[in-house]
Amino acid sequence: MNEKTLLSLAYGAAFTGGERAVAFSDLESMTPQFREGDDWLRKNAGREGFGWMDLPRRNVDEVQTLARWLATRESIVQVGIGGSALGNLMLHNALLPPYWNELPKVKRNAPRFFMSDNVDPVDNRAIWELLDPQSTAVIVVSKSGSTAETAANFLFFWEKLRDTLGEAAARERVIVVTDKEKGILRPFVDETGCKSLILPEDVGGRFSVLSCVGLLSAWALGIDCKALLSGAGAMSDLLARNGSILENPAWIMAGLSWLHLRKNRNVNVLMPYSDALERFGEWFAQLWGESTGKDGQGSTPVRALGSIDQHSQLQLYSSGPDDKLYTILTVKQGQKDIALPAAPEKAFEKLSWLYGKSMDELRNHEAFATAVTLAKMSRPVLTLTLPVLDAWRLGGLIQFYEYVTAMTGYLMKVNPFDQPGVEQGKNYAYGLMGRAGYEAQAQEVQTLSGRIGERVVHV
């Protein structure tokens, strides 16, 4: 591992599993399938859903210009959900200091950030009460503008800004990120003259973090987005090499995910051993779940956090049902490590084995111990390691997981870029809320609801 290494993948322990073990020869033989899959991805560039492939090389000058203005605000509220929220939270969690909003302004030198995603009145009111409207900006992100949660939350903040500051001042504090022509929000931009950015029409929400959706707030908060995009581009170039599968870590991970799925291991556990990557696990869960859960197929994403979930979940993982593939994600060299001091109290003499060691050292040993424990119990496990966690390598990690997800969908023969199940739920909600044109969906919900409420117990 050198200074140019983006990540390292150790996969020898993925071939355990007793009678249900995946054979190395099965993985090795998949090289032709991956070459075909890579061709499929690259030949479809420009089609709906495939645009994430070249996001690292698109012009982002307009995003950076708006981010400079945002950086002058005291607070930013982003209104969005799913792919319009999880990516931002992931970038901020990974690359900003912990407890960002609690830091004194002199240490932040950038705005506070709030995410309004779930449609929760308590949370939205709490956010508003923490804001100074004069120095706040609101970003609303939605391709259609009609996503119920996003629409509801934006209506709340827009009314508050308008009633407090007046409409002219309120519109100066709003940025709309939406489709260039379609939907509800583009006419709102035309009517009010507020600031706006165009959502790329060929990029789906869960693949959009390296577009203006994720970059705008990240740049405003001081994250090095040029390095982020550079790392993603470097990873894209590395994965374009059509050699053997054994030279391509994304092909290996996608191949093993598919082979283990065929062995009825339909749960995919991602367990980072770094607090800064906790939100990465949440972002991964949407990416993986919405992309692979189609046609009665798919594996359930589970996000765990080491070493916390080492104490809460490892018993199940090591001794429960053998239905999971595990990835342990570690950062080799942390920042601002803490050396453990020697304590003078005799009561702590039995802890002397910790003296002089570091917290990073302990956490990385625990990650390795978890991987070995799983392997000993014949549970298949991969170990993914970043040399350090910086913007360049995070960009590479994002591109890596998006590519792995797309290729796994290709192997499964499903479309990794749609989400029909999500759309059905949205349509039912529209019908229940009385949206015109969705009367049939409301009637269908009423018909089906009898099954849900047939037997009820009140205590």
Bridge-based pairing state of the strands 174-178 and 8-10: unpaired
What average pLDDT does the chain have? Answer: 94
Pick the catalytic residue: 92, 294, 324, 426?
A: 426
For residue 45, the Cα-to-chain-centroid distance in whole angstroms is 22
Residue 446 binned pLDDT confidence (cut-offs 50, 70, 90) = confident
Residue 315 has what pLDDT? 96
Residue 422 binned pLDDT confidence (cut-offs 50, 70, 90) = low
219 assigned to some structural domain: no
DSSP 212-260: HHHHHHHHHTT--HHHHHHHHHHHHHHHT--S-GGG-HHHHHHHHHHHH
List, for residues 381-406, the tens digit of each pLDDT value: 999 999 999 999 999 999 999 999 99
Residue 334 binned pLDDT confidence (cut-offs 50, 70, 90) = confident
Residue 211 binned pLDDT confidence (cut-offs 50, 70, 90) = very high
List, for residues 298-324, the tens digit of each pLDDT value: 999 999 999 999 999 999 999 999 999
Average confidence (pLDDT) over 363-385: 96
Residues 33 and 149 in one domain: no
H or E stretch covering 392: helix 391-412
Residues 258 and 110 in one domain: no
Pick the catalytic residue: 105, 311, 357, 376?
A: 311
Say if residues 325 and 14 touch (Cβ distance below 8 Å). yes
215 assigned to some structural domain: no
> What percentage of the chain has pLDDT greater than the value 70?
98
Residues 362 and 242 in one domain: yes
Average confidence (pLDDT) over 110-138: 98
Residues 118 and 249 in one domain: no
Asked whether the CA dihedral 317, 252, 85, 285 is positive or negative, the reply is: negative
Average confidence (pLDDT) over 223-252: 95
Residues 168 and 289 in one domain: no
13 assigned to some structural domain: yes
- Whether 311 is a known active-site residue: answer yes
Average confidence (pLDDT) over 161-181: 97
Q: Of 412, 436, 453, which residue constitutes the final position of a domain?
A: 412
Average confidence (pLDDT) over 276-289: 98
109 assigned to some structural domain: yes
Pick the catalytic residue: 92, 143, 282, 290?
A: 290
d(CA 99, CA 286): 24
Average confidence (pLDDT) over 173-193: 95
Specify the 3-state DSSP secondary structure of 322. coil
Residue 448 has what pLDDT? 72
Residue 114 binned pLDDT confidence (cut-offs 50, 70, 90) = very high
Residue 450 has what pLDDT? 67
pLDDT at 447 > cutoff 80: no
- Whether 426 is a known active-site residue: answer yes
Specify the 3-state DSSP secondary structure of 307. coil
207 assigned to some structural domain: no
Average confidence (pLDDT) over 403-421: 94
306 assigned to some structural domain: yes
426 assigned to some structural domain: no
pLDDT at 241 > cutoff 90: no
Residues 271 and 387 in one domain: yes
pLDDT at 372 > cutoff 90: yes
The CATH number that applies at residue 193 is: 3.40.50.10490
Residues 280 and 139 in one domain: no
Specify the 3-state DSSP secondary structure of 117. coil
Amino acid, res. 265: R
Residue 357 has what pLDDT? 93
Model-level pTM?
A: 0.94
Residues 195 and 263 in one domain: no
Residues 173 and 285 in one domain: no
Residue 1 has what pLDDT? 58
429 assigned to some structural domain: no
List, for residues 27-61, the tens digit of each pLDDT value: 999 999 999 999 999 999 889 999 999 999 999 99
Residues 292 and 353 in one domain: yes
Residue 172 binned pLDDT confidence (cut-offs 50, 70, 90) = very high
Residues 191 and 251 in one domain: no
Cβ neighbours for 256, distance < 8 A, ≥ 6 positions apart: 11, 14, 22, 27, 325, 380, 382
Q: Of 391, 412, 433, which residue constitutes the final position of a domain?
A: 412
Residues 368 and 241 in one domain: yes
Q: How many domains does the chain have?
A: 2
Q: Of 412, 428, 448, which residue constitutes the final position of a domain?
A: 412
d(CA 403, CA 6): 15
Long-range contacts of 232-235, Cβ-Cβ distance < 8 Å, separation of 24 or more: 232/55, 232/56, 232/395, 232/396, 232/398, 232/399, 233/56, 233/57, 233/395, 233/399, 234/6, 234/392, 234/396, 235/6, 235/395, 235/396, 235/397, 235/399, 235/400, 235/403
Structural domain including 155 reads 59-199
Alpha-carbon distances of 380 from 16, 104, 158, 303, 375, rounded to whole Å: 5, 45, 50, 16, 6
